[in-house]
């Protein structure tokens, strides 16, 4: 399945709902990353830094790559999929390490 770049005026009601959900997920994830970064700055805690970077990799990078594919058609789907999966895996490993070392 390939995604064709679309303009915002071409989105249907369900597309707007899905887009809104993706934006909300991205905002919440990056907010968690920011709070973790503030915690890291306050306590100089390495696990908080790893947690922050992990959330950015899990939420932020896939959102940027997905936007590039759908709206700008800057990269091809297989490359986007590989970058997204690699970013998510690395982010989850960092979050796991952060949770494992903090307790």
Answer whether residue 2 shows pLDDT above 90.
no
DSSP-assigned states of every residue in 45-101: -HHHHHHHHHHIIIIIHHHHHHHIIIII--S-HHHHHHHHHHHHHHHHHHHHHHHHH
User: Does the structure show a pLDDT above 80 at 72?
Assistant: no
Percent above pLDDT 90 for the chain = 43
DSSP code of residue 1: -
Separation between Cα atoms, residue 39 and residue 70, nearest integer Å? 34
94: burial class by Cβ within 10 Å (0-12, 13-18, 19+)?
Answer: buried
pTM of the model: 0.76
**3-45: per-residue pLDDT in tens?**
555 566 677 778 778 778 888 988 998 899 899 899 899 999 9
The model's confidence at residue 78, banded by pLDDT at 50, 70 and 90, is: confident
């Amino acid at each position: 399945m390939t995604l064709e770049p679309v303009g915002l005026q071409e989105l249907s009601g369900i597309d707007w709902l899905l887009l809104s959900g993706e934006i909300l997920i991205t905002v919440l994830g990056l907010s968690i990353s920011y709070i973790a970064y503030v915690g890291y700055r306050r306590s100089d805690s390495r696990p908080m830094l790893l947690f922050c970077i992990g959330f950015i990799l899990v939420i932020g990078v896939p959102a940027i790559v997905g936007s590039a594919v759908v709206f700008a058609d800057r990269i091809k789907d297989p490359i986007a999929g590989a970058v997204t999966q690699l970013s998510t895996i690395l982010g989850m490993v960092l979050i796991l390490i952060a949770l494992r070392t903090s307790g």
